Amino acid sequence: MGNNQAARVLIVDDEEDVRFILQRALRHEGYVLETAVDGVDAINKITQFDYDLILLDLYMEPIDGMQVFDVIREKSEEIMVIVLTAHGSLDSSIAALRHGAFDYLFKPETAVVIRERVRDGLAKQTQARKNKKILAQMGQLRQLFNEVEQETAPPAPKTETRFIRNGALLIDTHYQVISFDDNDLELTTTEFNLLSSLVKHAPDYISARELVLEGMEYDVEDREAREMIKFHIHKLRQKLEPDASHPQHILTVRYKGYRWRG
């Protein structure tokens, strides 16, 4: 979504009344609004067109919302998804959040809340896309940082707070980008936050509940936190571990949480 380009929003729900209410809530927001009447229709549109945000009903037939979610993630991790359901449960909320849902709302929800969460989701997406563009500049920033490290004089306070190094990993907190073994990591905002938290707490461990609070801004119970964090730890290990099945850097501390070993 460019600076002058309207966001494309897809509303997916098999209830006509719900689609009408959601369209009415968002019609004056300047978005390009489209609808899908069920999971099949949604998949056809998602594979053909690009969307910035999708409002997704979980309970549809014959293809449910989680199957649609899989297709969304196969196409892009950048698409923001807000899940709506009238049948909330702990399991369904965890599943949606593990898939990377931006938010999880129960039907019926007020138009004010829907507009607010859509705006917030698109704002988060815009920031994530800016961060991705900045990855191209990391080579130069890394070189400048190495030069500063080699100087005999202590680094300026701004440099100290901006860069965090732990072993082969370098975090630029200003631009929110991370490199590992001189390779830039393409991370989602959540993955950046979680990895940064692990490194900041190293060599100590951090609990799953603390990770969810710091990295995802959710305050949940321990059991739910453990379920939510497993998916993101798995994705992080795939992106930086030589062998994700035998991690060397992101270690599990049994019954306690996770810790970073650089």
pLDDT (0 to 100) of residue 113 = 92
Range list of β-strands (E), 173-236: 177-180, 183-184
Query: Is residue 95 located within the same domain as residue 161?
Result: no
pLDDT (0 to 100) of residue 150 = 65
Query: Is residue 73 located within the same domain as residue 173?
Result: no
Report how far residue 49's alpha carbon sits from residue 5's, in angstroms, rounded to the nearest whole number.
15
Domain that holds residue 22: 8-133
Mean pLDDT of all residues in 103-118? 88
Query: Is residue 222 located within the same domain as residue 166?
Result: yes
Torsion (CA) 46, 50, 51, 56 in degrees, nearest 10: 10
Residue 2 lies in a domain: no
Mean pLDDT of all residues in 144-155? 64
| Nearest CA among 65, 120, 61, 111 for reference residue 88 | 65
Which of 98, 133, 168 finishes a domain? 133
In this structure, what CATH number is given to the domain that contains residue 198?
A: 1.10.10.10
pLDDT confidence of 9, banded at 50, 70, 90?
A: very high
pLDDT (0 to 100) of residue 159 = 43
In this structure, what CATH number is given to the domain that contains residue 89?
A: 3.40.50.2300
**Mean pLDDT (the chain, rounded):** 86
Query: Is residue 182 located within the same domain as residue 146?
Result: yes
pTM exceeding 0.85? no
The residue length of the chain stands at: 262
pLDDT tens per residue, range 195-249? 999 999 999 999 999 999 988 888 889 988 899 899 899 999 999 899 989 999 9
What are the Cα distances from residue 49, in Å, to 45, 76, 78, 196?
6, 12, 14, 34
Residue 204 lies in a domain: yes
